[in-house]
Amino acid sequence: MTDSAEVYTDDETAPQEEQSYDLAKVGRKWKGELERYARYAEKYKTRCEKIEKLYLQQSSQDTSDRNYAMLWANTSVLQPAVYARVPQPAVERRFKDPDPVARVGSEMVERILTYQMERGDLDSLMKQCRDDYLLFARGVAWIRYEADIESVDMGVEVSETIEEEQSEATLPEERITGERICVDYVHWSDFAHSPARVWNDVTWVARRVPMTDDEIKKRFGGEAFTKLSAEVIGAPKGKTTAERAQSAGKTGIWEIWCKSENYTVWLADGSAQALEVSEPPLKLEGFWPCPRPAYGTTSTGSLIPVPDYVYYQGQVEEIDALTKRIAKLTDQLRLMGFYPAGDGDVSSAIEQALAPTNDEIMVPIPSWAAFADKGGAGAIVWLPIDQVQKVIVACVEARKQMIEDVYQITGISDIVRGDSEASETATAQRIKSQWGSIRIRDRQAEIARFGRDIIRMAGEVVCDLFQPETMMVMSGVKLMTSQQKQQVQLQQQQYQMIAQRAQQMGVQPPPPPPPAPPKEMMDDPAIDDVVQMLRNDNIRGFRIDIETDSTIEPDEDAEKKNRMEFASVIGQFIAQAGPVAQEMPMLVPVLGEVLLFVARGFRTGRQLENSLEEAIGMVSQAATAPKPPPQPSPDEQIKLQTTQVKANAEQQKAKLSVVQAGLEHRQAMQKLASQQLVDNQAHQQDMERMATQHQQAMQQAKQQGSDQ
């Protein structure tokens, strides 16, 4: 399913804003606008048709109508000079600050764009637009978003009210299974826009899409298909047989984007009723689904370009005329002689000698006397072709001068064409190459700008519409959601608490939870934060920047020179900054910023920027960390060790003294305790003896009292 626009069939209900449009009224309006543009660009269309026919050499190749392929030759020279390689996305942090969310987001978007552009064959599209740019002074591309959607039956019972009746229905869920960005090539004759002086004043753009009957039914429904007349549907269109064959069975459907009305209109070519009116399916910053076309020569009063061929058309026509004249004169360069007829053997011998199939060296003449009387060799009069040769040489020289005039007009220098003289010095050739290609630089810059705009618009679609799961799969960057991070942290905290309680209670702790993700994934930002940043147009524009590398074939010698210069400059800076960093560690962050500033000035240094940032961060952290105390010299280490040994010996001696004193004290205490025990036993015996004596005295006194 293609999400380039929403489709509402007969059994579906369109939004209220789409129901308010009168398709017949809208169709009449835009049919008139397209006809107005056709009148506005009628001269441009005529020129382009003539140029296309001339470029493809569709004219007769007879000698009388032979042409010099000047247009094809010039275009072939400019094609690799203007565009030679596919642009590669370069998504970076705009201000190069340590922003992890922007860093991860830019890396993901760059990888996705690289994959999408390779999958969509951007190189072929750029070459088609380049050829239109060189031949017709306008190259156009169109951006689309496609998604594969499938319905998943969740088995959820819901109740709906339909015409005041209750019914049970199963609610299906739609799931996106695939997403992609499509960049379409638009032929010069299939593009239209509102007449304007500059691109910013354009209020609507349109492209024509050839569609078959089945495609029209599938896209707009059967009812819309039946409303189109038989003259519109499937009628062969085009002036030539090839054009009619390409359009056979197809109908041109105009896709119109109106910025002033903020809607899109689908209208069949030649029809007065719109097929569909809907909101724009893409919410792009510049509204248009196409970048500003790659324009050639335009004036400040109109966007209708002027092809380059127009400026040297007169010279090419003169070159063609000279080419035809040379061809005709060349046909006259034939050996042709005249001799008298009816002379019997003499005429037969001359015919035999001049016959094209005669390979004999000697030709016998029976009547030699008669042949000699007629002048011998003078009997044959040859056609004077030397005059024809002189005219051909003059025509060739005149054509050569006209070709040089064309090269002067187009700005194709001899260095660009690979033509140089052996006597020229290298400096002279370098100067000619520098100034000879100065006009080509504008064309190179225009194609590079065109490719950059395509990549930027594709990046907008990725940031706004791609699902987080798709982003991670295409980029290969695995990130966790905020909820997953919180769950991992909560599980670890709960397990630590349970393990501590189990240790306090002396029981076996429970088994640990599943292993946590790597520390790098926990440190990386969550996919929620990255997507939130990419979805926000304002924040995304401030924090990341989408560019492309050059579309021009690089000069290997210049590339090597730039790399060597970069390595030399960085090496010299590090050698000079090293001693300063050792003496003044607080300047390390400043030196790191200076190093990055120097590296960013080199195009070749962009690949090492992230590595330099990480290295500078580690060096700055190590430089600002507290330093350990200085290590003593070997002699001082020996003295310290000797002092330490002595101190340890004294300490051990003191410990022994304390232990000995403790032993002596313990022995004295034990002796005192033994003496006290002896004294206590003697005292106990005395007390027992005294008690016994007292008891005996009491018994004696009691006995004496009883006797009395």
Q: Which of 147, 219, 145, 140 is nearest to 182 (CA)?
A: 145
Task: Please give the backbone phi and psi of residue 268, each rounded to the nearest 5 degrees, phi first.
Answer: -75, 145
Give 703: exposed, middle or buried? Use CB within 10 Å, 0-12, 13-18, 19+. exposed
pLDDT the model gives residue 382? 65
Question: CA–CA distance from 5 to each of 163, 254, 256, 449, 613 (Å)?
Answer: 30, 13, 12, 28, 44
Continuous segment of H or E residues that includes residue 181: strand 165-186
**586, 605, 627 — which closes off a domain?**
627
Helices 100-119 & 438-465, crossing angle to 10 degrees? 110
Q: Among 48-57, 147-156, 427-436, 514-523, where is mean pLDDT lowest?
A: 427-436
User: CA-to-CA distance for 365 and 369, rounded, in angstroms?
Assistant: 9
Within a domain: 596: yes
Quick one: the chain helix, strand, coil %, rounded to 5? 60, 15, 25
How large is the average pLDDT for residues 32-45? 93
Question: Is residue 244 predicted with pLDDT exceeding 70?
Answer: no
Residue 74 vs residue 94, higher pLDDT: 74
Report the alpha-carbon distance of residue 175 to residue 147 in Å, rounded: 10
Q: Label residue 238 by pLDDT band (50, 70, 90).
A: low
pLDDT confidence band for 346 (50 / 70 / 90): low
Query: Quick one: average pLDDT of 548-556?
Result: 62
* Rounded percentage of the chain residues whose pLDDT exceeds 70: 73
| 108, pLDDT greater than 50 | yes
Task: State CA 72 to chain mean position distance.
Answer: 31
DSSP-derived 3-state class of residue 558: helix
In which residue are the tokens 């924040």 written? 539
Percentage of residues of the chain with pLDDT beyond 90:
21
Q: What is the pLDDT of residue 419?
A: 57
Q: Is residue 589 part of a domain?
A: yes
Residue 151 has pLDDT above 50, yes or no: yes
- Distances from the Cα of 1 to the Cα of 219, 283, 358, angstroms: 10, 19, 76
pLDDT for position 44: 94
Whether 27 is in a domain gets the answer no
Round to the nearest angstrom and report the end-to-end CA distance of the chain. 144
pLDDT, position 18: 44
Residue 458 is assigned to a structural domain of this protein: no
The half-sphere exposure of 423 on its side-chain side, counting CA atoms within 13 A, is 0
User: Does 358 reside within a domain?
Assistant: yes
- The whole-angstrom separation of Cα 628 and Cα 633 is 15
Res 127: pLDDT: 93
Ramachandran assignment for 150, one of left (phi > 0), alpha (psi -120 to 50 degrees), beta (any other): beta
Sign of the dihedral defined by the CA atoms of residues 346, 351, 354, 359, in that order = negative
HSE-up of residue 127 (Cα within 13 Å, Cβ side)? 10
Q: 345 is in which domain, residue-wise?
A: 340-382
pLDDT at 609 over 90: no
Dist. CA 254–CA 211, nearest whole Å: 10
Read off the DSSP letter of residue 349: H
Q: Which of 575, 592, 627 is the last residue of a domain?
A: 627
pLDDT at 16: 38
Q: How far apart are CA 651 and CA 638, in angstroms?
A: 19
Which of 277, 281, 146, 275 has the alpha carbon at shortest distance from 222? Answer: 275
Of 50-64, 153-167, 292-306, 548-562, give the lowest mean pLDDT range.
153-167
The contacts of residue 22 (CB under 8 Å, 6+ apart) are none
Domain membership flag for residue 623: yes
With a cut of 70, say whether residue 623 has pLDDT above it: no
Q: Is 607 exposed, middle or buried (0-12, 13-18, 19+ CB in 10 A)?
A: exposed
How does pLDDT run across 160-200, given as a tens digit for each residue?
433 333 444 445 677 888 899 999 999 999 999 999 999 99
Q: Is residue 176 part of a domain?
A: no
Nearest-angstrom CA–CA distance, 104 and 472: 11
386-407 per-position pLDDT tens digit: 788 888 889 899 998 988 888 8
Please give the pLDDT value at position 606: 56
Domain assignment of residue 604, yes or no: yes
The answer to whether the predicted template modeling score (pTM) of the entire model surpasses 0.75 is no
Closest CA to 216 of 170, 261, 175, 267: 267
Count Cβ atoms within 10 A of the Cβ of residue 527 and give its class: 0-12 exposed, 13-18 middle, 19 or more buried: buried
If one compares 504 and 356, the residue with the highest pLDDT of the two is 504
50: nearest Cα among 310, 304, 323: 310
pLDDT band of 208, cuts 50, 70, 90: very high
Q: Are 609 and 600 in contact (CB under 8 A)?
A: yes
What amino acid is encoded at 696 in this protein?
A: Q
Q: How far is the C-alpha of 309 from the C-alpha of 51, rounded, in Å?
A: 8
Tokens encoding 447: 């194609």
Identity of the highest mean pLDDT range in 4-8, 28-32, 509-513, 670-674: 28-32
SS3 433: helix
Q: What is the mean pLDDT of residues 99-125?
A: 88
Q: Which of 589, 609, 627 delimits the end of a domain? A: 627
Best-predicted range by mean pLDDT (486-500, 536-550, 552-566): 486-500
> Per the structure block, which two tokens stand in for 28?
């009449």
pLDDT, residue 233, reads: 55
* Rounded distance between C-alpha atoms, residue 507 and residue 164, angstroms: 65
Average pLDDT over residues 255-283: 91
Burial 456-495 (b: 16+ CB within 10 A, else e): bbbbbbbbbbbeeebbbebbebebbeeebbeebeeeeeee
In 83-196, alpha helices (H): 100-119, 122-136
Counted domains in the chain: 2
**Whether 141 contacts 185, CB under 8 Å:** yes
